[in-house]
Amino acid sequence: SQQGEEDPQALSIQEGENATMNCSYKTSINNLQWYRQNSGRGLVHLILIRSNEREKHSGRLRVTLDTSKKSSSLLITASRAADTASYFCATDESGGSNYKLTFGKGTLLTVNP
């Protein structure tokens, strides 16, 4: 079963605009991670936010986590055509040492030049 659900399923913006993607999940988590997948490629880790953190930044990426609402958002600022990809949230709900991640269905972001 898939824990995270990304919203929207698809997003199309112009270069230079900001892109916001949301992720909702159902159970308690240890951490939540965001991954990017370019067409035909494997996934690349973007950022990890722990359950006791509320916001995290990495370059043009900003991630927020609201554990009371069981939701997270990924903001990409000043988007570029190269940001075109699918973005997945993944939750670590193991509660122990399994380090298992459960991925959502992803948001397909298209950045038009």
Partner 1 sequence: EAGVAQSPRYKIIEKRQSVAFWCNPISGHATLYWYQQILGQGPKLLIQFQNNGVVDDSQLPKDRFSAERLKGVDSTLKIQPAKLEDSAVYLCASSFTGQFGNEQFFGPGTRLTVL
20, 22, 24, 48: residue in contact with partner 1 (rule CB under 8 A): 48
- Establish if 97 lies at the interface with partner 1 (CB under 8 A): yes
- When asked if residue 57 is in the footprint of partner 1 (CB under 8 A), the reply is no
Segment near partner 1 (CB under 8 A), from 11-19, 58-66, 67-75, 89-97?
89-97
One residue of 76, 88, 91, 93 binding partner 1 per CB under 8 A: 88
Burial 81-99 (b: 16+ CB within 10 A, else e): eebbbbbbbbbbbeeeeee
In Å, what is the CA distance from 59 to each residue of 46, 47, 63, 109? Answer: 10, 10, 11, 18
| Contact in structure between 32 and 23 (CB atoms under 8 Å) | yes
Which stretch in 53-61, 64-72, 77-85, 86-94 sits in contact with partner 1 by CB under 8 A? Answer: 86-94
Strands 31-37 and 10-14: unpaired
Binding mask 27-46 for partner 1 (x = CB under 8 A): ----x-x-x----xxxxxx-
